[in-house]
A and B are shown apart, each in its own frame.
Chain A
Amino acid sequence: QKEVEQDPGPLSVPEGAIVSLNCTYSNSAFQYFMWYRQYSRKGPELLMYTYSSGNKEDGRFTAQVDKSSKYISLFIRDSQPSDSATYLCALKNTGGFKTIFGAGTRLFVKA
């Protein structure tokens, strides 16, 4: 069983839609939950991070962590064509250095 599972998509939505991206994980020791965004032919960049459970909002982006279900989500409101990218979830243990990345979900937002 992989440590983190993420649907690779692609996911295609019209401009203005609410997008939901998700990952499931198996190791309950993960405490830091991150979302990276990767544009084509670029390296990933950190979008948001959450420590332990709960929600975090930043503009049009909301990250949710449900540790009881081992399920994390990223919501994008009022999606824009510029949001078209691959979104990777990433998880890390407290005190550790190794970050485990999901496979990434390719998102296309059509104008």
Chain B
Amino acid sequence: GAGVSQSPSNKVTEKGKDVELRCDPISGHTALYWYRQRLGQGLEFLIYFQGNSAPDKSGLPSDRFSAERTGESVSTLTIQRTQQEDSAVYLCASSGGLAGSTDTQYFGPGTRLTVL
């Protein structure tokens, strides 16, 4: 079946503009995660969804960042008034959402965001 898809694959924007990044998880996966990966660095947790609710938003770096998920499917990460330090690859992952297990996360290819 289809894996996790993300769009756009690349996004170049000007400082101060808003951007929306989209994630289509694997069908039936209840858990969805957003991460940020700066060049040469590891994954920085942003937000986690279980179904359509977000029990853990602790990683969102500022109030310019928000995310929503609808229909226990597609999720959108929105960054308002982008800054140059927002430049990074934004990765989405989905999983079966099973507690008490490894709950393997399946990652999409990421959206490479460049803020000029």
By a CB distance below 8 angstroms, the chain B residues around A51 are 102
Secondary structure of the A contact surface, majority rule: loop
Interface magnitude class on chain B: 20 to 34
By a CB distance below 8 angstroms, the chain B residues around A94 are 100
Which of B13-21, B38-46, B68-76, B80-88 lies at the binding interface? B38-46
Smallest Cβ-Cβ distance to A106: which chain B residue: B40
Could you count the A-B residue pairs with CB atoms below 8 Å apart for me: how many are there?
63
By a CB distance below 8 angstroms, the chain A residues around B106 are 45-46
Contact A103 B102 (CB under 8 A): no
Interface magnitude class on chain A: 20 to 34
By a CB distance below 8 angstroms, the chain A residues around B110 are 41-43
Binding site for A on B (CB under 8 A): 4, 31, 33, 35, 40-43, 45, 48, 50, 55-56, 91, 93, 97, 99-110
Binding site for B on A (CB under 8 A): 6, 8, 32, 34, 41-46, 49, 51, 88, 92, 94-104
